[in-house]
Amino acid sequence: MKRILLIQKAVICLNNNLKGMYNSSNDELYTPKILVEPIIKYIPKGSTVWCPCDTKSSEFVLTLKEHNIKVIHSHIWEGKDFLTYEPDEHYDCIITNPPFSIKLDIFKRLISLQKPFAILMNSTCEQYQVIGNYFYELGEKGIRIQKLTPDKKVSFNGKTSSFNTAYYCCNFLPMDNMYCHLAHNNSGKHYVPSRMYKDVISDTGNSN
């Protein structure tokens, strides 16, 4: 319980600091492991994955490494803004959970990098007119956006989630529209927080 309270305090502090970086404090939602696992089987063997919105304790970074997948990670906390930064190391694809409030900028950046990608977003993001228009424009150019949708609303904080999430992909999935099964929605007794909170606690001066 003490650990959970520390995490909650750390997130409040961090979100206050992030107001100048992003347009919404809700941009910092740390992906639980249960949402990382469905994308792993679609990563080609031998690939190096860049996780551009992730710290060393991100579930994307840790879970991919647990599956012996080579990972490069970066985060805006380190001064490495995904919209302008690209690692010098070779990478084959991009996987992350980016800030939702700048979703159009994120998609444009991903397309410009010309690498396969799978990013976690609110599952209704294409219903935003600017996103729908952009996906249509990509389709006219022969670029198809794919979607992998979990069968449950997954919680990021232990409480029942108010939104569904999905992976929006390009050149990543064997079919354009797919679904995946999750054992639970990561809430209540099943709640396991993202290990990325360790980095939040560290940055806010808490070590317990």
Average pLDDT over residues 80-95: 98
> Total structural domains in the chain?
1
Q: What is the pTM of this model?
A: 0.84
pLDDT digits (tens, 9 = 90+) for 153-191: 999 989 888 889 999 999 999 999 999 999 999 999 999
Strands lying side by side in the sheet with 177-180: 70-73, 48-51, 93-96, 117-122, 165-170, 146-150, 177-180
pLDDT band of residue 198 (cuts 50, 70, 90) is confident
The CATH number of whichever domain residue 94 belongs to comes to 3.40.50.150
In a domain, 166, yes or no: yes
Average pLDDT over residues 21-41: 78
The pLDDT of residue 201: 60
In a domain, 111, yes or no: yes
Two tokens, residue 58: 């991100």
In a domain, 37, yes or no: yes
pLDDT digits (tens, 9 = 90+) for 36-55: 999 999 999 999 999 999 99
Comparing CA positions, the residue from 42, 135, 33, 37 lying closest to residue 92 is 42
